[in-house]
Chains A and B, each alone.
Chain A
Amino acid sequence: MTLRLPKELEFDWESAVHDIVNAIRWHLKNTNAERGIIGLSGGLDSSVTAVLAVKALGRDSVHGFVLPEHGVTPEEDVEDALKLARSLEIKNTTIEITPIVEAVAKQVPEVLQKDSTGRLKKPLAYGNIKARARMIVLYANANILGNAQVMGTSNKSELLLGYSTKYGDHGVDLLPIGDLYKTQVRYLAEKLGLFDRIWTKAPAPRLLKDQTAESEIGVGYDVIDRVLYYRVEERYDEHKIADELGVPKEIVKKLCDMIVQSHHKRKSPPICKISSATINWDWRMPVE
C-alpha cells in the first residue's frame, strides 16, 4: 500500500525529516540537554517522533516510555510500542498508569459517575486524568535521568483542533512534528519504513475504551486536514472552504469553531497586566 496525499498537502518529506532532525539536535544542544524522553503509545505520532529523535540524537540518547492503562490500552498498542523500541534499539521502560489514575479517581470520585445507560457523566474529566498521569510519569523520569527534554508527539491537526489534553500530552518541552498535519505524518511514517500496523491503524487517543479520533470529530483526517489547510495556510473563510472542497458547511464550521475554542491550549496562560514589564506581553524572551 502506498499513501498519496491530496495536492495541497504534498510536501518534500525528506526535507521535512532533515528540518526536524536538525531542529531537535540544535534544541537539545542549545538547552544543554543530553537526552530526549518520549511516551510511546504504539500509535502513529509517537512512533514517527521516536524515529526522528533517534535520527537526531542517536539511539543511546533517546529513552522510550510505554505507559499503558489496564483494560483501556489495547494489547496490540503495547506490542507495537515495544516492537518499535526494539527495532530502534532504544532504552525503554513500561510503567502502568492504572494505579495513578485509580488514586486520582478515588480522591475525585465524580469522574467515575455514570448515567442511567452506564456511560460516564464526565468522560472528559476522567480521560484527561490519564493524559496528565502520563505527563507526570514522563517528567518524573526526565528529572531522574537528568538533562532530559520531554518530546511531545502532537501533530498540527490535533494542535489546531485542540484535540489534546492541556498539561497532559500537551505538557512537553518540544513538539517536533507539530507543523505536520496528521495525514502528512502518516505519509512520513510510510516513507520512514515504519511497519504497516502503525500507520494503518485508526488514530485514537485511547483515553477511553474504543475511543477513536475520527468518530469523535465526525469526519476523517483526509477531510479534516484539507479544511485546516485552507483555513490556516490559505486563510479562506468557512463558506469558501466548503465550496472549494465540497464538504458540508456544518462540518467546516465545526472544525473552524474547534480552532477558535482551543486557542487557549496553544498559548501560555494570560497574565493580568499590572506592571510595565508583564511576562509574555512586554517581557518576551526566547526559549533556548
Chain B
Amino acid sequence: MRTKLRVALAQIAPKMGDTEGNFAKVFENVEKARAARADAVVFPELATSGYLSQGIFLDMAEREATYLGKLVKTTRDIYVVLGIVEETEYGTLYNSAIMLGHGRVLVGEAGEIKQACYRKCYLPTYGMFEEHRWFAPGERVPTFVLNVPDIGRVRAGVVICEDFWHPLPVAAACLRGAPFVCAISSSPKTLRKPDIVDSLIVTRAVENCTYIVFVNSAGSQDMVNFWGGSKIVSPEGDILCKAKEWDEDFVVGELDLFKQKKIRQLNPMLRDERREVIEDYLSAYQEMRIV
C-alpha cells in the first residue's frame, strides 16, 4: 500500500466557444497524466467553454455531452476533475466541476443528498463578473469518493474560484472528510492578483489542515489575461509544486495522505470547530440580512 496520491495539474488555456479544441486539450492532458502515472488530473474552471463566454454558455451543455461520454470511457484508470457548464433537466445552468473516473461519473455526497457535480456556490456578479446572469448557485459542498489502486478510499473535495474567497466551502469539504480540496479557477490577472489568490489558498490550506490543489486557466480571453500559476499547497502552507504563470503547463505533485492525517492530529483545527460559533455565525448572517 502507498500513502501518496499523485495528482496532475492540467493548466490549459481554453478558447471561448471552441468545444472541440478545448476537449482536445482535455484528452491530451489526460493521456499525459496517465503517462505520468497520476491517480487524478485536475482542469480549470469552465475549461470546456472558456470563462468569459457569455451567451455561448447557453449552447455549451449540448456541445459537451458527446465529448463527456467519450471522456468517461477513456478514464478507465484515472480520475478527472473538469470545470464544465452543467445543465439540469429543467434547463438550469450551473458553473460546475464534474468528477469522472474509472469509467464512470462519480456522484457527490453531502450527507444524505447525492449530487452529480459540484456546483459553484458563490457566483461573483460585480465588477467584470456576471456569473449570476448565466448560472444558478450551488447550495452544498459534496465530496466524492475515489477508490485509488494501492491506496483505497479517499474523499475529494472540489470548490470553484470565488468559493475559496469565502471560508466556508473548503471547510465544509474538509468536515466531510476530504484530505484534499481541488480549487479550480479561471482567475483574471489584475494589479492585486495573483498575490491575493496565493494568500487565500495558503490560508484555506492551513486553517483546514488540507492539501489545496489549485488549478487556474492560462491564456487570454477578450484581452483579459488568466495568470495560470497552478499549484499544490500543503496543509502547512508550503508550495509543493507549481506550474508556470501565464502559459499552458502540466505538472504533477504528490499528496502524502499519511502526513496530512498526522498534521490534522497535531493541529486539530477541524476537531476544535464549534457548533456554538457556527450557530452564532448563522445568527449574525441573519441579522445582517434584516438590517
- The reply on A174 being an interface residue by CB < 8 A is yes
Cα A267 to Cα B240 in complex, Å, equals: 45
Q: Are A285 and B55 in contact (CB under 8 A)?
A: yes
Report A281 CB to chain B, min CB distance, Å.
11
Cα A69 to Cα B176 in complex, Å, equals: 71
Q: Give residues 8-65 of B contacting A (CB, 8 Å).
A: 13, 15-17, 50, 52-56
Cα A25 to Cα B246 in complex, Å, equals: 12
Interface residues of B, count at CB 8 A: 20
Render B204-236 as a binary contact track against A, CB cut-off 8 A, 1 for contact: 000000000000000111111100000000000
Q: Are B52 and A23 in contact (CB under 8 A)?
A: no
Q: Are B191 and A285 in contact (CB under 8 A)?
A: no
Q: Are A288 and B55 in contact (CB under 8 A)?
A: no
Cα A284 to Cα B57 in complex, Å, equals: 10
Cα A11 to Cα B192 in complex, Å, equals: 11
Given contacts A11-B191, A12-B191, A288-B16, contact A26 B52 (CB under 8 A): no
Cα A82 to Cα B260 in complex, Å, equals: 63
Query: B189 to chain A: which residues have CB within 8 Å?
Result: 19
Given contacts A26-B13, A288-B15, contact A174 B223 (CB under 8 A): yes
Q: Are B16 and A26 in contact (CB under 8 A)?
A: no
- The reply on A83 being an interface residue by CB < 8 A is no
- The reply on A22 being an interface residue by CB < 8 A is yes
- The reply on A144 being an interface residue by CB < 8 A is no
Q: Are B221 and A288 in contact (CB under 8 A)?
A: yes
Cα A30 to Cα B218 in complex, Å, equals: 13
Cα A286 to Cα B225 in complex, Å, equals: 14
Report B245 CB to chain A, min CB distance, Å.
9
Cα A18 to Cα B225 in complex, Å, equals: 10
Residue with the greatest number of chain A CB neighbours at <10 A, chosen from B16, B17, B191, B223? B223
Q: Give residues 67-110 of B contacting A (CB, 8 Å).
A: none
Given contacts A19-B225, A288-B16, contact A283 B55 (CB under 8 A): yes
Report B86 CB to chain A, min CB distance, Å.
20
Query: A30 to chain B: which residues have CB within 8 Å?
Result: 15-16, 220-221
Query: A27 to chain B: which residues have CB within 8 Å?
Result: 220, 222-223
Report A99 CB to chain B, min CB distance, Å.
35
- The reply on A287 being an interface residue by CB < 8 A is yes
Q: Which of B16, B191, B220 contacts A23 (CB 8 A)?
A: B220
Report A10 CB to chain B, min CB distance, Å.
10
Q: Are B246 and A18 in contact (CB under 8 A)?
A: yes
> Which residue of chain B lies nearest to A176 when distances are taken between CB atoms in the complex?
B223
> Which residue of chain A lies nearest to B133 when distances are taken between CB atoms in the complex?
A284
Render A14-55 as a binary contact track against B, CB cut-off 8 A, 1 for contact: 010011001101110010000000000000000000000000
Query: A284 to chain B: which residues have CB within 8 Å?
Result: 54-55
Q: Are B246 and A286 in contact (CB under 8 A)?
A: no
Report A204 CB to chain B, min CB distance, Å.
27
> Which residue of chain A lies nearest to B18 when distances are taken between CB atoms in the complex?
A30
Report A5 CB to chain B, min CB distance, Å.
14
Report A242 CB to chain B, min CB distance, Å.
26
Query: B224 to chain A: which residues have CB within 8 Å?
Result: 23
Given contacts A26-B13, A30-B15, contact A287 B246 (CB under 8 A): no
Cα A174 to Cα B220 in complex, Å, equals: 13
Q: Are B220 and A22 in contact (CB under 8 A)?
A: yes
> Which residue of chain B lies nearest to A277 when distances are taken between CB atoms in the complex?
B55
Report A131 CB to chain B, min CB distance, Å.
23
> Which residue of chain B lies nearest to A174 when distances are taken between CB atoms in the complex?
B223
Q: Are B220 and A286 in contact (CB under 8 A)?
A: no
Given contacts A18-B246, A22-B246, A26-B13, contact A286 B221 (CB under 8 A): yes
Query: A26 to chain B: which residues have CB within 8 Å?
Result: 13, 219-221, 225
Query: A286 to chain B: which residues have CB within 8 Å?
Result: 16-17, 50, 52-54, 56, 221-222
Cα A11 to Cα B246 in complex, Å, equals: 19
Query: B220 to chain A: which residues have CB within 8 Å?
Result: 22-23, 25-27, 30
> Which residue of chain A lies nearest to B50 when distances are taken between CB atoms in the complex?
A286
Cα A15 to Cα B17 in complex, Å, equals: 28
> Which residue of chain A lies nearest to B52 when distances are taken between CB atoms in the complex?
A286
Render A176-187 as a binary contact track against B, CB cut-off 8 A, 1 for contact: 100000000000
Render A148-183 as a binary contact track against B, CB cut-off 8 A, 1 for contact: 000000000000000000000000001010000000
- Which 7 A-B pairs have CB atoms at the shortest separation, nearest pair first? A26-B220, A23-B223, A284-B54, A23-B220, A285-B55, A286-B16, A284-B55
Given contacts A285-B55, A286-B222, 4 further A-B contacts (CB under 8 A): A15-B191, A25-B220, A285-B54, A285-B56
Q: What are 18 A-B residue pairs whose CB atoms fall within 8 Å in the complex?
A: A19-B189, A19-B225, A22-B225, A22-B246, A23-B225, A26-B13, A27-B220, A27-B223, A283-B55, A285-B54, A285-B55, A286-B16, A286-B53, A286-B221, A286-B222, A288-B16, A288-B221, A288-B222
